[in-house]
Structure 1
Amino acid sequence: MKIFTNMGALPFIRLIRWPNLIVVVLTQILLRYAIVGRVYAASGFSPAMDNFLFAVLIFTTVLIAAAGYIINDYFDIRTDVINHPDTVVLGKKIHRRKAIVYHIAMNVIALLGSVFLAWKAGSMKLAFVFIMIMVLLWLYSVRYKRTVLWGNLAVAFMSAMVVLVVWLFEFYMLRQQPEQFIALYGNMKMISRFFFVYALFAFLISLMREIVKDMEDVHGDQQTGCRTLPVVHGIRTAKLVTFIAGSITGALIIIAVIKLISSGMVLPALYFSAVVFIPLLFICYRIAMAADKADFHLISKLLKLLMLAGILGLQPLSVAL
């Protein structure tokens, strides 16, 4: 509450990228209820991770993501002043020293949450998953985002982990219930496949978006010494890499649609064809035609909407399961 009374809610909410955090929450909720919950319910079971533990998982994930956005802005303030002067929060409405305090506090609380979840799952090693993400976010802000592709790959990997941690912790907590684990063992391969596909989708779309954002910010990055893909190898090469990632994503969607149709899941197949695949083709076309900062900004927004469309596809998928 002190955050809101001292500086107002709006600057802090903008700093932690509230729309992105809502997408994180929505992603994890839909994954749990549309895939895990649906498959379990068909066998007469409920998720091994109860509602309280799942809420702790979401809260921990959101805290780590929010802390990551804060530390990213802290180290990127010079570039942001050039690239996005009208949207800069740090240094204008929030003191940089306070931002570091918020970053540390969020990570400490998230660390406690991850240790608690790992303890409940019967494997303290799981806490290192979240610790690894915290460290990776720090390294991304300090070093990786200023190097060719490494920063893009780091963000894409963390987007995939938002998906994977839901099944990872559910699986370990399910092992704590031997009878239920044995009863559901035959369904685990299918659940793992769904999570892997969604994690791969999140990885590829995030990778595309990060490269597009680098193309949007190329002039500011050049002035501040960031060696991103478009800075080092040019816009044309960055477009090519993005297009390749989009082509791989499109091919995977086609394979998924064929698999869904062959399994009798026509509704989700139609959804992913019309709401995900066709817009992806349009985005790839816009990438090829993009010429200025405004074009790349629009494409970045479209890719965010495409990510949301893919997540919402879990609902028709759950109906067909």
Structure 2
Amino acid sequence: MTSLLRLVRLPNLLIIILLQCLIRYGLIIPILAHFGYHPVLSHFRFGLLVLASVCMAASGYVINDYFDIKIDRINRPEKMVIDNGLQRRAAMFFHVILSFIGVFVGLFISYIARKETWALMFLLIPVFLWYYSTTFKKQGFIGNMIVAGLTALVTIVVVSLEFAMLVRVHGAPIINSEACSTAWFWTLGFAFFAFVTTLIREIVKDMEDVLGDEQGGCRTLPIEIGMKFSKIFVSILTCCTLLSIWALYFSFNILNSSVITLWYIILLITIPFILSMYLLYKSSTPKAYHRLNTFYKLIMLFGILFILIAGQLF
């Protein structure tokens, strides 16, 4: 059981669960209440969405490790699960089971929400994850963008499903309501934050794994443009993210009128991001990059937890 939990990256799955629950219960429902609407989506059906998301993510982690055995023997032999406690055949079987559950539950959600595009999405995600593990991951920045995009999608599907169900009760006009535009605006903001922090983490992870990736024929960003320019690129992404956050803060009264929001952004977002750039330029070993990657997870967690404050602003 311990091997399976390590294989599916349990901490990452818990972050997905936390993110989706906070988006719905800490942000979307308070916004709906502010505009006089009640949620239509049941807790059970929302739980199915979370289950589908977690199964899809877990299946992606399994198939990624399945195809990364040679590289992991170089980068992190002590942390390998497949061929070191779990047979490859068992890992593939586990991947198929997780993918099946994710697709089946996803198709059911698509049916009840009457969203045909969702059905296609849930069918294509396992294929996409397979090709990511076999092809896209070795193409560096393309693979980083795919992982970041899928992370952002985790937040977007929550608001999309919520309003798909509301349409069935209130009709299409609710899509043009202020409640819908407000919910989408805030959700996309957190999706953007999840996208950028994941993209940065993926690049830093490539810095950590550069030795094994190079021998495995990968064309990651650190291999293609070097460590120095990869660090510069990450720093630019970090600065742009901070500028975007502060621009939003000064642009909206609902944000800049809140003292808690000001100190939260300073202490738990801005200072950690600035510290991360310092740690980035000091890092030169796989262990240092691994610690930095963990630090970025903490920054992402702080960003997610801000949802609890954002929901109280309405």
- 1:286–1:107 CA distance, 2 compared to 1 (3 A): same
Structure 2 unmatched runs, 5+: none
Greater Cα offset, 110-119 or 68-77: 110-119
Task: Say whether residues 1:101 and 2:93 are aligned partners.
Answer: yes
Is 1:267–1:320's contact at 8 Å kept on the other side of the alignment? no
Q: In the TM superposition, what are the counterparts of 1:145-184 in structure 2 within 5 Å?
A: 145-178=137-170, 182=174
Give the fraction of aligned pairs with identical amino acids, expressed as a percent.
Answer: 34
2:210 is aligned with 1:215: no
Deviations 1:6-63 (A, max 9, x none): xxx1110110000000000000000001111101122443322110110000000000
Report the alpha carbon displacement of residue 67 of structure 1 after superposing the two structures with TM: 0.3
Q: CA RMSD in A?
A: 1.7
Structure 2 residue corresponding to 1:23, chosen from 15, 35, 44 = 15
Q: Does the CA-based 8 Å contact 1:133-1:158 persist in structure 2?
A: no
Q: Quick check: 1:160–1:202 contact (8 Å CA) kept in 2?
A: yes
Runs of 4+ in structure 1 over 4 Å off: 260-263
Please give the residue correspondences for 1:42-191 in structure 2 after superposition, counting only pairs within 5 Å: 42-178=34-170, 182=174, 185-191=177-183
Which AA in structure 1 matches 2:309?
A: P
SS in structure 2 of the partner of residue 300 of structure 1: helix
Return the letter of the residue paired with 2:140: V
Q: What code does the residue aligned with 2:83 have? A: G
Partner secondary structure for residue 72 of structure 1: helix
Paired letter, 2:48: V
- Residues 56 and 173 (structure 1 numbering): CA distance in 2 closer, same or farther, change over 3 Å? same
Q: Do the aligned residues in 2 keep the contact of 1:260 with 1:268 (CA within 8 Å)?
A: no
User: What does residue 300 of structure 2 align with?
Assistant: 307
* Closer, same or farther: CA 129–211 of 1 in aligned 2, 3 Å: same
Q: Which has the higher contact order (CA 8 A, sep 6+)?
A: 2
Report which stretch shifted further, 19-28 or 178-187: 178-187
- Structure 2 contact 148–194 (Cα < 8 Å) conserved: yes
Letter in 2 for 1:270: W
Q: What is aligned with 1:247?
A: 239
* CA distance in structure 2 between the aligned counterparts of 1:201 and 1:173, rounded to whole angstroms: 26
* Count of aligned pairs: 313
Task: Provide the secondary structure at the position in 2 that maps to 1:90.
Answer: coil
**Any stretches of 5+ residues in structure 1 without a counterpart?**
1-8
TM value normalised by structure 1:
0.93
Shift of 1:289: 2.4
Identify the residue that residue 260 of structure 2 maps to in structure 1.
Answer: 267
Distance in 2 separating the partners of 1:114 and 1:165: 11
Does residue 257 (structure 1) correspond to residue 277 (structure 2)? The answer is no
Partner amino acid for 2:308?
Answer: Q
- Per-residue deviation, residues 103-132 of structure 1 (Å, max 9, x unmatched): 111111111111111111112221222233
| Contact in 2 for aligned 1:122/1:176 (Cα 8 Å) | no
Q: Counterpart in 1 of 2:227?
A: 235
Task: Give the structure-2-normalised TM-score.
Answer: 0.95
Q: Do the aligned residues in 2 keep the contact of 1:159 with 1:202 (CA within 8 Å)?
A: yes
Whether 2:291 is the aligned partner of 1:291: answer no
* Mapped contact 2:107–2:122 kept (Cα < 8 A): no
The answer to whether the Cα contact below 8 Å between 1:260 and 1:266 also exists between their aligned partners in 2 is no
